[in-house]
Structure 1
């Protein structure tokens, strides 16, 4: 079974990768559109313990790393936190979107990086797209859909405005269905993330 096939059984896929100057390969592992179903069927989802998605990711990706003779690293470990955003942008498979969040050719703005596989050998990396999907997106609806204009301003992401809106009755749609700017991205719309998954991530970002 190939690495891609093994990842797919857990709803994961290689979102990008690079060959570090130190040698070997670094593969960025993210959740695919089938990942939520794989996670909710896993023991971590129902055992009542903290951080169930992080524990699921560490068990699965850590197990794969051990089987392949490599190591695993995770964005949830820290501080200090590992440079996952820098790795993603360096891979050439991610770009900064017009509203500041990273965008991916397959996932759009629905990026969920769950970990990285560090392998001792140089392996083939996923093909790098020619350019950001935002370049061909004439309307760029992510720029105008946020109800409180919390994204893409000159000061960057206005966290307080976003959280204040999520705490209000008017913000229930974003809180239960996920960030509107992410959802209107044409690439995101075709990625198949469920509302339950978006709500899970929103509750982790802003627990009420």
Structure 2
């Protein structure tokens, strides 16, 4: 299976995507179904580091209708779905309903913990990474168990990620969704609309993987429905 996983990773890399770890479900777990409808035995997480998929997504977008709902999700589903079909797996997405526990899967697969913003903190990528989908297989895949990663937030005393938002959208009480949305849509939210979340950008870690402004503006427009 090792060679098959390497070939799978190479197929994903052709579109700027990477494998983000995985694991085998325990016998006592209620696993989602695989391609035949039988319970899956293994899951491989698929995602990105930095904005590597962006150029691939844009080339795909040029060939699509001008108006398309959730284009990045559609692109991810297509790319990961093609890989799943080639390698005998079932592709699933974080936006599938009923929702699958992607955050828990990701923490288990890579040993990560959430940052104060809720985004998982990666020791190399910081906050500049994402999970685009997963591949479910009906066979056990021998994978090295993830050890707990260094959680950079523990060493960050100043927490600039909680001090940069003008409406204090993130706090110990959680995410103030309505306040954030109103600010981004309002007259004072231009910096957020064009350059992304100020709190996220204030984090000093993973700067080499920071999304370019146009990528952050795309995600912010999707968040705000603009």
TM-score normalised according to structure 1 size? 0.87
Distance in structure 1 (CA, Å) of the matches to 2:45 and 2:171: 26
Greater shift after overlay, 18-27 or 140-149? 18-27
Contact 1:178 1:202 in 2 (8 A): yes
1: CA distance, partners of 2:142 / 2:56: 26
Other-structure match for 1:63: 82
The answer to whether the 8 Å contact 1:71/1:117 transfers is: yes
2:56 to 38, 45, 50: 38
The structure-2 alpha-carbon separation of the partners of 1:43 and 1:163, relative to structure 1 and needing over 3 Å to count, comes to: closer
Structure-1 separation of matches of 2:206 and 2:64: 28
Q: Distance in 2 between matches of 1:107 and 1:45?
A: 31
Instruction: Confirm whether residue 170 of structure 1 aligns to residue 179 of structure 2.
Output: no
- CA-atom RMSD, angstroms? 2.2
* Cα distance per residue 1:25-59 (max 9 Å; x no partner): 21111123311111111246743232211111111
Task: Measure how far apart 1:136 and its partner are.
Answer: 3.0
Question: What SS does structure 1 have at the residue aligned with 2:69?
Answer: coil
Aligned to 1:53: 72
Q: Structure 2 CA distance, aligned partners of 1:86 and 1:124?
A: 17
* Residues 74-119 of structure 1: CA deviation (Å, up to 9, x unaligned): 01212x2111112122224321112333222333223322100113
Q: CA deviation at 1:13?
A: 1.0
| Equivalent residue in structure 1 for 2:175, among 149, 157, 164 | 157
Aligned length: 206
Aligned partners of 2:91, 2:134: CA distance in 1, in Å? 6
Aligned counterpart in structure 2 of residue 17 of structure 1, from 22, 36, 44: 22
Pairwise CA distance, 1:129? 5.2
The C-alpha deviation readout for 1:146-167, integer Å capped at 9, x for no partner, is: 121110232x110111111112
Q: Which residue of 2 aligns with 1:111?
A: 129
Quote how far apart the aligned CAs of 1:137 are. Answer: 2.9
Distance change (3 Å), C-alpha of 1:61 and 1:125: farther
Tell me what 2:140 maps to: 121
Separation (CA, whole Å) in 2 of partners of 1:125 and 1:63:
26
CA change 1:39–1:32 in 2 (3 A) is: farther
Q: Any conservation in 2 of the 1:98–1:142 contact (CA below 8 Å)?
A: yes
- Select the residue among 208, 211, 222 that pairs with 1:193: 211
SS at match of 2:19: strand
Indicate whether 1:145 and 2:164 are aligned. yes
